[in-house]
């Protein structure tokens, strides 16, 4: 059997689609979906009830070593800088769609081999099947949502100014439930958070 040299890499056993860039105007509060395509499902069915399997999600932003006159993103973190923990939302999966069941916004159901999430409503009951109801949108059951608060970057040392953004470093870590053999953890998404200058951030709220 022929052997390749250790220093000649031929296969990438851990695929990486590349780093991401989240761009915000200071004071924006937004939520971004991330698909966990290395996880088959985020839910389990026990004693007649659907619930989360128990993956642990950790999403953070660490302040970068920004400078007032920078023309490119920094390449290092700020020593002693702000560390922000972001909330990760896992949608509620309700199992098979039922015309008599009441559903809330962002609930996820299964119907005819596909998955749908409710776009609006509270305790909504409708006999219209999800594939024909405009308030249901097709989705997957391996998707989470990372929430960036409007206070992100509020206390960074170097605030964004006109023409110059401030940056932080983002990473998401996913750890599976405790396993008797070996508990795996992944870091599937990394990248930059760009925060741009905002005039409304300077004016007191009405």
In a domain, 4, yes or no: no
CATH classification at residue 191: 2.60.40
User: Which residues have a Cβ under 8 Å from the Cβ of 102 and sit 6 or more positions away?
Assistant: 123, 124, 125
pLDDT (tens digit per residue) in 65-112: 999 999 999 999 999 999 999 999 999 999 999 999 999 999 999 999
In a domain, 190, yes or no: yes
In a domain, 95, yes or no: no
User: Which secondary structure element, helix H or strand E, spans residue 96, and what is its range?
Assistant: strand 93-96
In a domain, 15, yes or no: no
Q: Residue 156: give the domain boundaries.
A: 23-90+142-202
Number of domains in the chain: 1
Q: Looking at residues 155-167, what average pLDDT do you find?
A: 96
The rounded percent of the chain whose pLDDT value lies above 70 is: 92
Are residues 166 and 146 in contact, defined by beta-carbon separation less than 8 angstroms?
no
In a domain, 65, yes or no: yes
> Per-residue confidence at 12, pLDDT binned at 50, 70, 90?
low
Query: Which is nearest to 110 in space by CA: 35, 56, 45, 55?
Result: 45
Query: Which is nearest to 144 in space by CA: 112, 188, 97?
Result: 188
Q: Give the pLDDT confidence score for residue 6 in this predicted structure.
A: 66
In a domain, 156, yes or no: yes
In a domain, 170, yes or no: yes
Q: Give the pLDDT confidence score for residue 182 in this predicted structure.
A: 93
In a domain, 104, yes or no: no
pLDDT (tens digit per residue) in 14-66: 666 668 999 999 999 999 999 988 888 899 888 888 989 999 999 999 999 99
């Amino acid at each position: 059997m022929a052997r390749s040299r250790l220093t000649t890499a031929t296969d990438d056993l851990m695929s990486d689609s590349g780093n991401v860039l989240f761009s915000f105007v200071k004071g924006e509060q937004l939520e971004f979906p991330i698909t966990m395509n290395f996880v088959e499902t985020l839910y389990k069915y026990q004693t007649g009830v659907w619930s989360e399997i128990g993956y642990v999600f950790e999403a953070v932003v660490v302040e970068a070593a920004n400078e007032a006159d920078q023309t490119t993103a920094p390449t290092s973190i700020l020593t002693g800088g702000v560390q922000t923990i972001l909330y990760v939302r896992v949608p509620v999966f309700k199992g098979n769609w039922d015309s008599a069941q009441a559903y809330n916004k962002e609930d996820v159901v299964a119907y005819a081999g596909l998955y749908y999430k409710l776009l609006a409503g509270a305790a909504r009951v409708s006999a219209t099947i999800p594939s024909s109801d405009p308030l249901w949108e097709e989705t997957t059951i391996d998707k989470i949502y990372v929430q960036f608060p409007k206070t992100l970057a509020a206390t960074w040392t170097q605030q964004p100014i006109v023409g110059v953004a401030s940056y932080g470093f983002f990473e998401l870590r996913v750890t599976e439930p405790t396993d008797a053999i070996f508990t795996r953890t992944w870091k599937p998404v990394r990248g930059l958070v760009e925060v741009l200058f905002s005039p409304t951030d300077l004016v007191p709220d009405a």
